[in-house]
């Protein structure tokens, strides 16, 4: 008779200690599960993804971590401003004003500090965290999953659990091993970004706002992290970047210079470090669950940072994926209907933002977006989704349908003035 597989040491192993992994680990630990987190970096570590959405607050409360985040004193974000590159127009979403938005504000975060708070919170709830530990591969069998990992001692070890939660971010660890990644056609982007001092950001009521500056085929973000520290990034098509045949810093500087809405804020700006680059970050995995394996956060898929939905979706999928896994662990099942439902709901949440993101790059959508018409509270409905209300009620859904209908109409009849974008 073959030897039986050893019993699992853990209920769940989580790969990755970013927002999705910490949220999953906290959820599992708070439901009494034994959780091991494998994180390849040593925290605190730099990470991009600094502007959060008001509905993130709902997940903070679910995890019981809000008091720790509030105590850290992050920059308060009350609005999002969308500017035309030539500075001729802008529109502001004030989160306190939308009639379908329950949370009036959010925060801008330095991810090194924010991610450390979330990971320490998972620890304080009972999760064991191994930093500087790289997950290598895993094997699923009848009674559990064995994960091979390499620690700071350079040696390989194995750990066994009933379930594996993949929260490895853009490393997309388990899905890449299983060849499950699909790219969004026509959406290959590159982001160039750095922190700056001396950027002239809005003051008063608008202090703390994120600015999104739309150029013809690309866009900038400006995120105030502290009174004299602003994160500035440029997102453009990978092919356009290659065609320019310039170094990333030259492309960035030239884009700042030729974009009045950014240049007017940059007269005193100084970079605090060399620019960083992230390439080709948009994809979707064909499957988010398989027996004993659940993918959450960016390891489920990531689209585009334009509407700052990444961290909110990562954390909520971390919680939802962990709850579904916890139920499967209790039932002693490798695959359940709740896991399938998690997959379906996560795709639906991501799909809602994809609908906006895909169109943001299209002329007719941008024309309506920059000339908002709040007829029948349509702008309020859009605002609630862009505030992170990923599962909107019917009152919001029909208004969104009406808005997208107007976008289609704008192609043929001018619903609003057909302005040039950029």
Contact residues toward ligand FAD (CB under 6 A) are 15-21, 38-41, 47-52, 134-135, 167-171, 173, 191, 233, 278, 281, 297-299, 302, 305, 308, 310-312, 314
How far is residue 170 CA from its own chain's centroid? 11
Look at residue 158 and give its three-state secondary structure: strand
Look at residue 241 and give its three-state secondary structure: helix
CA 53/CA 308 separation, integer angstroms = 7
Closer residue to ligand FAD (CB): 223 or 406: 223
CB of 130 to ligand FAD, least distance (A): 9
Closer residue to ligand FAD (CB): 266 or 307: 307
Closer residue to ligand FAD (CB): 278 or 371: 278
Written as one string, the DSSP assignment of 344-369 is: HHHHHHHHHHHHHHHHHTSHHHHHHH
CB of 295 to ligand FAD, least distance (A): 9
**CA torsion through residues 43, 224, 94, 366, sign:** negative
Closer residue to ligand FAD (CB): 30 or 40: 40
Question: Beta 219-226 vs 283-285: how paired, if at all?
Answer: unpaired
Closer residue to ligand FAD (CB): 296 or 366: 296
Contact 164, 290 (CB under 8 A): no
CB of 223 to ligand FAD, least distance (A): 6
Closer residue to ligand FAD (CB): 72 or 409: 72
CB of 374 to ligand FAD, least distance (A): 26
Classify each residue of 377-416 as buried b or exposed e, where b means 16 or more C-beta atoms within 10 Å of its C-beta.
bbbbbbbbbbbbbbebeeebeebbeebeebbeebeeeebe
CB of 402 to ligand FAD, least distance (A): 27
CB of 108 to ligand FAD, least distance (A): 8
Beta strands in 29-78 (DSSP E): 35-38, 75-77
Closer residue to ligand FAD (CB): 277 or 419: 277
Q: Which residues contact 94 (CB under 8 A, 6 or more apart)?
A: 78, 79
CB of 38 to ligand FAD, least distance (A): 5
Give residue for tokens 């030539």.
86
CA 361/CA 188 separation, integer angstroms = 13
């Amino acid at each position: 008779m073959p030897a039986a597989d050893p019993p699992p040491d853990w209920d769940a192993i989580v790969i990755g200690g970013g927002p999705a992994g910490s949220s999953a680990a906290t959820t599992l630990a708070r439901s009494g599960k034994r959780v091991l987190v494998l994180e390849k970096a040593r925290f605190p570590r730099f990470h991009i993804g600094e502007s959060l959405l008001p509905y993130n607050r709902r997940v903070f409360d679910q995890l019981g971590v809000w008091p720790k985040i509030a105590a850290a004193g992050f920059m308060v974000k009350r609005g999002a401003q969308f500017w035309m590159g030539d500075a001729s127009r802008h529109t502001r979403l004030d989160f306190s004003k939308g009639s379908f938005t329950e949370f009036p504000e959010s925060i801008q975060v330095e991810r090194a500090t924010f991610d450390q708070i979330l990971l320490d919170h998972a620890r304080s709830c009972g999760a064991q965290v191994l930093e500087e530990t790289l997950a290598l591969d895993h094997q699923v069998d009848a009674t559990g999953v064995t994960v091979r990992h390499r620690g700071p001692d350079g040696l390989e070890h194995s750990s066994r659990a009933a379930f594996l939660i993949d929260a490895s971010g853009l490393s997309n660890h388990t899905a890449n091993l299983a060849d499950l990644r699909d790219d969004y056609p026509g959406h290959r982007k590159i982001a160039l970004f750095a922190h700056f001092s001396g950027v002239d950001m809005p003051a008063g009521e608008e202090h703390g706002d994120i600015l999104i500056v739309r150029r013809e085929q690309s866009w900038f973000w400006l995120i105030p992290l502290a009174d004299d520290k602003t994160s500035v990034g440029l997102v453009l098509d990978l092919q356009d970047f290659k065609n320019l045949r310039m170094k990333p810093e030259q492309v960035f500087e030239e884009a700042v210079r030729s974009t009045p809405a950014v240049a007017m804020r940059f007269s005193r700006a100084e970079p605090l470090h060399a620019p960083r680059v992230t390439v080709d970050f948009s994809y979707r995995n064909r499957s988010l669950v398989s027996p004993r394996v659940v993918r959450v956060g960016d390891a489920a898929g990531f689209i585009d940072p334009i509407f700052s939905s990444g961290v909110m979706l990562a954390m909520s999928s971390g919680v939802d994926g962990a709850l579904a896994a916890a139920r499967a662990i209790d039932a002693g099942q490798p695959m359940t209907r709740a896991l399938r439902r998690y997959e379906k709901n996560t795709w639906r949440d991501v799909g809602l933002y994809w609908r906006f993101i895909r169109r943001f790059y299209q002329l007719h959508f941008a024309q309506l977006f920059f000339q908002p018409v709040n007829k029948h509270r349509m702008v309020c409905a859009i605002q609630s989704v862009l505030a992170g209300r990923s599962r909107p009620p019917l009152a919001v859904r029909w208004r969104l349908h009406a808005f997208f209908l107007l976008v289609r109409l704008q192609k043929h009849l001018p619903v609003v003035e057909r302005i040039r974008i950029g």
